[in-house]
Structure 1
Amino acid sequence: MMSDLEIAQRSNMKPISEVASLIGLSDDDYELYGKYKAKVSLDVLDKFHDRPLGKYIDVTAITPTPLGEGKTVTTIGLAMGLNAIGKKSIVCIRQPSLGPVFGIKGGAAGGGYSQVIPMEDFNLHLTGDTHAVSLAHNLLAAFIDNHLHHGNELNINPFTISWPRVVDVSDRALRKIVLGLGGKENGVPRESGFDISVASEVMAILALTTDLSDIRKRLGRIVIGYNKKKQPVTAEDLKCAGSMAVLMKDAIKPNLLQTLENTPCLVHAGPFANIAHGNSSILADQIALRLTDYVVTESGFGADCGMEKFMDIKCRYSGLKPNCVVMVCSIRALKMHSGKYKVVPGKPLDPGLAQEDIEAITQGSENLIKQIENARYFGIPVVVAINAFTSDTPKEIEAVRKISIENGAFDAVISEVWAKGGEGGKDLAQAVARACDNGGDFQFLYPLDAPIKDKIHAIATKIYGADGVVYESVAEKKIKLFTEMGWDTLPICMAKTHLSLSHDPKLLGRPRDYKLPIRDIRPSIGAGFLYPLCGEMRTMPGLPSKPAGNAVDFDEDGNVVGLF
């Protein structure tokens, strides 16, 4: 079997102008970035505003193993499968962070015969959007320290400043730093740190904005800290928001690429799914829905993370309503959730994961059952996609199908897109098309005018299955403060581990009989949400002992090698 990169490099790419023409775009509707990628003009929204919206599909998953279970592979493969059965489709996904690309996870362009190409460009700089986010973010950070240096006219309390620097590299040594050392001319000494770029509120804003005017307003609303009267200080107060918006003028345009089978793909934004909302951009989805019959997008991590935020945050700001949820699972992950087997990154898999074990699947399916229930809370039909591995047996697959349908899934279908591309996604595509035609009654989990605690309680008890919520004193004070500020009408973006339905990554399956702890609550006023912290959350990853970047290089012919 060839590597993912070898498959991608041997693909038959079409010039992106041909891909654009397939979805009705003219030369005036996009800007070329080389031969195989382009940026789509936002004017397309006005040009095609009279067209009916296509069907809107969100691909999510059960709680994954640390290795992931093929959600992006399934997202891409489903779009190709829809085309293979005669349906026109576009896939919309996030741009990966360079931190994971060179760290533990590696690339995020899919895998096998279900990939977005050019794979090297997708996983590396693409068209520079993440760099624009980083520069806009760091410009504001520089304005903050420059303001302190020149007398602090806004009377900012330095101990309340919550705006760090960012860089799109996993670098644990930068998590905590001291600024302004070396004398008065080098600024005011204070503690700060670095986050990875995709954890920036600017990235979350890029994914939720709807036009240039909107992104300008959102950037202006960013809160960087408080003055000594405990009033919020914003990017607008620092007169930095206009410059930040100008830096984002090209990044706001979605990027057009293609799959291995030349299915159009819009790649745009890449916010974290534990701290931020973990979804690609509203703009990409809005454009795609006017250009095709089916739009397939995905949400980060499991349904308790990215999907809940897709529904309660992204759909609120976009006004779009999904027609179907695809729930990706694997036999391997279900066995892990039984507690019988462990999956540890960098270590060989337990041989038992490749042996038939119906009992472990039945026990581990408690997680699948809960995640189906979570999707059904929003009134949307659920199709379970069983991502096929060669070790899966017919009895195991049938067991998952039966459990899924008995517990509320519209259908459960094996997906073989990794090995067979669109051809391996035909059955899944047929099931999804039927589910979209079945209708649904979309609803949010909570009303925006509910008190902050009520919204948190709804997510904790309904989505996570907690018995209740306990608040530390810091969180209690923040709730009081944010309510006084008028921020209590914002949606909630819970920050928690992706490795469990609960706050504790060690609690597999379907945790019960626990209280969800809320350590702190922080505002993302520009993005438009509050994010409670459920335990310690890392916003700057570290590299493993053997980073994926060790293998990345050029060969003697100048071709990139080592990406996966």
Structure 2
Amino acid sequence: MADAQQHKAPQSDIDIAQAARMRPIVELARDRLGLAETDLHPYGHHKAKLTFDCVRGLEDRPDGKLILVTAMTPTPAGEGKTTTTVGLGDALNHIGKKAMICLREPSLGPCFGMKGGAAGGGYAQVVPMEDINLHFTGDFHAIGIAHNLLAAMIDNHIYWGNELKLDQRRIAFRRVVDMNDRALRQITSSLGGVANGFPREDGFDITVASEVMAIFCLARSLDDLKERLGNIIVGYTREKTPVYARQLEAHGAMAALLKDALAPNLVQTLEGNPAFVHGGPFANIAHGCNSVLATRTALKLADYVVTEAGFGADLGAEKFFDIKCRKAGLKPACAVVVCTIRALKMHGGVAKEDLGQENLEALKQGSENLARHVENVRQFGVPAIVAINRFSADTEAERDLVRQIGAELGVEVIESDHWASGGAGAAELAEAVVATVEKDEAAFHPLYPDEMPLWDKVRTIAQSLYGAQGIIADKVIRARFAELQSGGFGHYPVCIAKTQYSFSTDPNLKGAPSNHVVPIRELRLASGAEFLVVVCGDIMTMPGLPRVPAANRISVDSDGRIVGLF
């Protein structure tokens, strides 16, 4: 186990991770969670899956307290939400609490695109870092293959006579690959003659945007998984009658491919504390949370469970509350809203290259973004704490100003130094979380009731959380809302797909914009996941690589050691 306090020299995340002395995962599970070796399926020495017998055997245990880590609107300056999640979990253990963390698995697309890795940072990481970022236990590959099996079976059904009378113009199920690849966004498939089927327009999404991924992360058991897979709408007939995956008899084989993947993945933090890393739907496209199965299992194994939801609270926390908690019956006890001085100044208009200079006026202006996120969390009846993820260039005057703003909001502001000091650096934050959980009984409730019409659900989110004047859509989209409402899907929650960089649909509109309008471009019914994806603005479900992708820096040395992951 790495001792965070003894290693202060600046090192890359991967250098720190590779220097860690990890405990054998079977030993960790025994000593920290009370699990037997037979409760695990080890994947090497330092990662394992829990067996389903183990998961089922925990059902009668009481639940621990669930803490959500969310954040202000992200910027290129960085916020460190995952790092804070890991640091808080370590800190809770550091102060004597029995705690676990639950994270999403990283997607290969962002890892080789902008991020270069996503397993925490500094001395607040989950390990083995390279494995978690690259293939891990193969879950994402299983999800991609299961998804593409269904895609292949759709075209195969059409090729062999199309008994279900699928309209090739109304196929609603695209293919996926776990890599950023803009060239695959829109394609024409089945070219090359009669033997290759009937040509049609098609396209690829990234695997983490797949409905199979969303189903995987919401399923509570193998039976629930199989039923949800069967409920996927693959397309429509000319009469606009939906055709389901179960009608193609695809859901059984898909579930078979996902059987092993569905079991939660157990790893550890740098400080030797247990962590589940399982599932990973995109936060700006899907619901952005780790699997329900992992979270529910962790709540049976620990007194405190720290989890995260992707991007800012307007996307991640909202979907965590309105989709995951609603569907899984979870009751969060507290939320931590992460911010950095750097990101607050950027929302106040400071350019990235000038963030090292003290600027109290910009900080005060940018704090309007943080204030809205805090108020948004409170709308769900969940008490909030603000965590300042410390950077070395932060000044005392800047930190004091954020504390003053927090006092005006009636929210506690805690500075945390977990990146440099591990769990000890977040001990004050952990104490504040425990005090809040023990003092305040959260009165959690979703933002809107199930019976609210779909259109009104979207408008409620836009007005209540985004500060928007309202929502707009053309006649075709409005008709689709009405069609879904009358078709028996009106009780579904909505999953807003929009840019993560603004409360609006314009990524350049920083701070806390108000009275803007949210344009709805497309609706995608995820009938297996049981939510409606509402695509707003220019958001894409297949990202592209940047001009200089992180892949340019990632390699392997002659000893088989991965280099270049951040």
TM-score, L = length of structure 2: 0.97
Deviations for 1:510-548, whole angstroms, at most 9, x for unmatched residues?
A: 111212111222100101100111112211111122211
Query: Structure 1 residue 506 and structure 2 residue 516: aligned?
Result: no
CA distance in 2, matches of 1:171, 1:247: 25
CA distance in 1, matches of 2:560, 2:509: 46
Is the 1:471–1:517 Cα contact (8 Å) retained in structure 2?
yes
CA distance in 1, matches of 2:450, 2:28: 40
CA distance in 1, matches of 2:161, 2:479: 30
Residue 426 of structure 1 aligns to which amino acid in structure 2?
A
Q: By how many angstroms is 1:291 displaced?
A: 0.6
CA distance in 2, matches of 1:436, 1:469: 36
Question: Which residue pairs with 1:175 in the alignment?
Answer: 185
CA distance in 2, matches of 1:440, 1:358: 34
1:124 to 126, 134, 146: 134
Q: 1:12-411 to 2 correspondence within 5 Å?
A: 12-21=21-30, 22-338=32-348, 340-342=349-351, 349-350=352-353, 352-409=354-411, 411=412
Higher mean C-alpha deviation, range 61-70 or range 523-532: 61-70
Residue 6 of structure 1 aligns to which amino acid in structure 2?
D
2:526 to 513, 524, 527: 524
CA RMSD of aligned residues (A): 1.0
SS at 1:506 equivalent? coil
Q: By how many angstroms is 1:67 displaced?
A: 4.8
Q: By how many angstroms is 1:122 displaced?
A: 0.6
SS at 2:259 equivalent? coil
Change in CA separation of 1:232 and 1:549 when aligned onto 2, cut-off 3 Å: same
Residue 174 of structure 2 aligns to which amino acid in structure 1?
P
Higher mean C-alpha deviation, range 554-563 or range 138-147: 554-563
Is the 2:496–2:536 Cα contact (8 Å) retained in structure 1?
yes
Query: Structure 1 residue 494 and structure 2 residue 504: aligned?
Result: no
Residue 421 of structure 2 aligns to which amino acid in structure 1?
K
Is the 2:77–2:346 Cα contact (8 Å) retained in structure 1?
no
Deviations for 1:306-348, whole angstroms, at most 9, x for unmatched residues?
A: 100000000011111000000000011111111x223xxxxxx
CA distance in 1, matches of 2:56, 2:251: 26
CA distance in 2, matches of 1:328, 1:540: 27
CA distance in 1, matches of 2:550, 2:70: 25
Deviations for 1:221-257, whole angstroms, at most 9, x for unmatched residues?
A: 0011111111111111111111111111011101000
Is the 1:67–1:105 Cα contact (8 Å) retained in structure 2?
no
Question: Which residue pairs with 1:431 in the alignment?
Answer: 432
Deviations for 1:183-207, whole angstroms, at most 9, x for unmatched residues?
A: 0001110010111111100001111
Q: By how many angstroms is 1:173 displaced?
A: 1.0
SS at 2:16 equivalent? helix
Where in structure 2 are there 5+ consecutive unaligned residues?
Answer: 1-9
Question: Which residue pairs with 1:346 in the alignment?
Answer: none
Residue 334 of structure 2 aligns to which amino acid in structure 1?
C
Q: By how many angstroms is 1:41 displaced?
A: 1.8
TM-score, L = length of structure 1: 0.97
Residue 414 of structure 2 aligns to which amino acid in structure 1?
V
Residue 232 of structure 1 aligns to which amino acid in structure 2?
P
Q: By how many angstroms is 1:395 displaced?
A: 1.1
Question: Which residue pairs with 1:543 in the alignment?
Answer: 545
SS at 1:379 equivalent? coil
Is the 2:77–2:342 Cα contact (8 Å) retained in structure 1?
no
Residue 380 of structure 2 aligns to which amino acid in structure 1?
F
Query: Structure 1 residue 10 and structure 2 residue 19: aligned?
Result: yes
Q: By how many angstroms is 1:559 displaced?
A: 1.1
Q: By how many angstroms is 1:459 displaced?
A: 0.5
Q: By how many angstroms is 1:30 displaced?
A: 1.2
Change in CA separation of 1:209 and 1:67 when aligned onto 2, cut-off 3 Å: farther
Change in CA separation of 1:408 and 1:521 when aligned onto 2, cut-off 3 Å: farther
SS at 2:332 equivalent? coil
Is the 1:311–1:444 Cα contact (8 Å) retained in structure 2?
yes
SS at 2:201 equivalent? strand
Deviations for 1:48-78, whole angstroms, at most 9, x for unmatched residues?
A: 2232211100000000103531000000000
Residue 386 of structure 1 aligns to which amino acid in structure 2?
I
SS at 2:373 equivalent? helix
Aligned residues between the structures: 555
CA distance in 1, matches of 2:72, 2:528: 30
Deviations for 1:248-297, whole angstroms, at most 9, x for unmatched residues?
A: 10111010000000110101001000110000011111100011110000
Question: Which residue pairs with 1:462 in the alignment?
Answer: 464
SS at 2:494 equivalent? coil
Change in CA separation of 1:67 and 1:197 when aligned onto 2, cut-off 3 Å: farther
CA distance in 2, matches of 1:42, 1:287: 10
Deviations for 1:476-500, whole angstroms, at most 9, x for unmatched residues?
A: 1211110121001100111111000
